[in-house]
């Protein structure tokens, strides 16, 4: 052994202190800066539920009936059942075992919708069965938003009655609209189109007042009944499912109604206003009803090439109503489809537009009456 130190010792290396495991500490004063995020640019689609003390508890007992399979209604705990606009908790949904499936009325990327009938009362509902088994985080988020949507009470919003769980499968009980969606329908009468737009705007304004952004307004999410009442559907839960599904399987039809600044964040300095985005989607839907086709180009369908579709949305001129339309309708569409989101009026402001402010039609003839 050489004098002055142990074997293999090198000059300039600090020796480890006896009894200290591992390496010698280096520079404990060094820290890494945390990334900063501009929270003012984030759109919040749904408000947080109120604290548990603000609403009484509400639970649903399991039902025993034909085809129930031992399923039970998912309980809405105290923190998951906020009060509605009247200040009281919404009523509990009927037990799943008392709902009889009549027929399938629709299907999409998120699930299948069934017409069901409540056996004791004969009341019709729509039951949306979500595809797949979702992880716990997604289930908690869906449960939270369902609890909030149950409190939404407005004539132009499809009512959400509750949610069930059966063998890990989520099922949502909704108001049944017997006329189906407005997808693929043409509304040539401007008076009837104004009435449809008025109902839609009333529902959008209600959601926006509650700080709820829909984010997926399009004709297939607009439903009508035999009384020609138009209601907005499929918000909240549909957005969560779109976020959790494989992007390769996402619907191009949803992209078709997105606002330019939502697709290309450079168009508005990276700031996205969800309320203004809803107005763009609404205006594009109204123009599609009037034209009877998707408004962005004669040969560009909403289910076509997504790259060409996004280029048309972001870089082409905004679609406009044809010269044969009234000046009121042309002005209304122009207000909704401003490329600059700051120039788009709010839903409350659009309700004062002269195209909307006229009295609703008494007997519209442009849209075939849905089967009753």
For residue range 50-86, what is the model confidence (pLDDT) as tens digits? 444 333 333 333 333 333 333 344 433 333 445 555 5
Where is 10: in which H helix or E strand? Answer: none
Provide CATH 1.10.510.10 ranges for the chain: 190-239+252-357
The three-point CA angle 321-322-326 to 5° equals 75
pLDDT tens for each residue of 137-177: 878 888 887 887 888 899 999 999 999 988 878 899 999 99
Tell me the H-state helices in the chain. Answer: 136-149, 190-209, 237-244, 252-255, 260-263, 274-291, 306-315, 327-336, 347-350, 354-357
SS3 332: helix
What is the separation, in whole angstroms, between the first and last Cα of the chain? 102
Residue whose token pair is 């004098």: 3
Widest CA span of the chain, in angstroms? Answer: 109
Residue 178 CA from chain centroid, whole number: 22
Provide CATH 3.30.200.20 ranges for the chain: 52-175
If one looks up domain 190-239+252-357 in CATH, what number appears? 1.10.510.10
Distance (Å, rounded) from C-alpha 44 to C-alpha 364?
A: 38
Distance (Å, rounded) from C-alpha 232 to C-alpha 201?
A: 10
Average pLDDT of the chain? 75
Q: In whole angstroms, how far apart are CA 175 and each of 119, 156, 165?
A: 16, 12, 18
128 among the known binding-site residues?
Answer: yes
pTM of the model: 0.71
Q: What is the pLDDT of residue 232?
A: 95
Residue whose token pair is 């004063």: 29
If one looks up domain 52-175 in CATH, what number appears? 3.30.200.20
Q: Which of 195, 216, 234, 278 is catalytic?
A: 216
Q: What is the pLDDT of residue 294?
A: 92
216 is known as an active-site residue: yes
pLDDT tens for each residue of 303-346: 667 788 888 899 999 999 999 999 999 999 999 999 999 999 99
């Amino acid at each position: 052994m050489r004098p002055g130190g142990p074997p293999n010792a090198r000059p300039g290396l600090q020796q480890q202190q006896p009894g200290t495991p591992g390496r010698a500490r280096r520079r404990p004063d060094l820290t890494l800066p945390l990334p900063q995020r501009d929270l003012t640019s984030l759109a919040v689609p749904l408000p947080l539920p109120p604290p548990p003390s603000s609403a009484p508890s509400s639970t649903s007992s399991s039902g025993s009936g034909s085809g129930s399979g031992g399923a039970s209604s998912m309980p809405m705990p105290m923190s998951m059942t906020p009060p509605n606009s009247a200040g009281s908790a919404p009523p509990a949904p009927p037990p799943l075992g008392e709902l009889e499936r009549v027929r399938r009325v629709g299907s999409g990327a998120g699930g299948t919708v069934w017409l069901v009938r409540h056996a004791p009362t004969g009341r019709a509902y729509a039951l949306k069965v979500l595809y797949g088994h979702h992880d716990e985080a997604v289930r908690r988020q869906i449960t939270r938003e369902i609890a909030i949507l149950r409190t939404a009470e407005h004539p132009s919003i499809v009512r959400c009655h509750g949610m069930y769980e059966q063998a890990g499968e989520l099922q949502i009980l909704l108001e049944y609209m017997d006329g189906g969606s407005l997808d693929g329908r043409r509304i040539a009468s401007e008076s009837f189109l104004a009435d449809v737009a008025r109902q839609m705007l009333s529902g959008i304004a209600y959601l926006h007042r509650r700080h709820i952004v829909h984010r997926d307004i399009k004709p297939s999410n607009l439903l009508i009944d035999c009384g020609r009442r138009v209601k907005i559907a499929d918000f909240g839960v549909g957005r969560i499912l779109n976020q959790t599904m494989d992007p390769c399987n996402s619907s191009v039809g949803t992209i078709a109604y997105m606002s330019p600044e939502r697709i290309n964040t450079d168009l508005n300095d990276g700031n996205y206003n969800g309320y203004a985005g809803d107005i763009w989607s609404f205006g594009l839907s109204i123009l599609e009803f009037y034209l009877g086709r998707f408004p962005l180009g004669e040969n560009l369908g909403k289910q076509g090439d997504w790259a060409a579709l996004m280029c048309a949305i972001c870089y082409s001129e905004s679609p406009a109503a044809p010269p044969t339309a009234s000046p009121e309708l042309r002005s209304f569409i122009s207000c909704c489809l401003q490329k600059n989101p700051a120039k788009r009026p709010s839903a409350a402001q659009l309700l004062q537009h002269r195209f909307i402010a006229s009295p609703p039609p008494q007997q519209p003839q442009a849209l075939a009456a849905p089967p009753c």
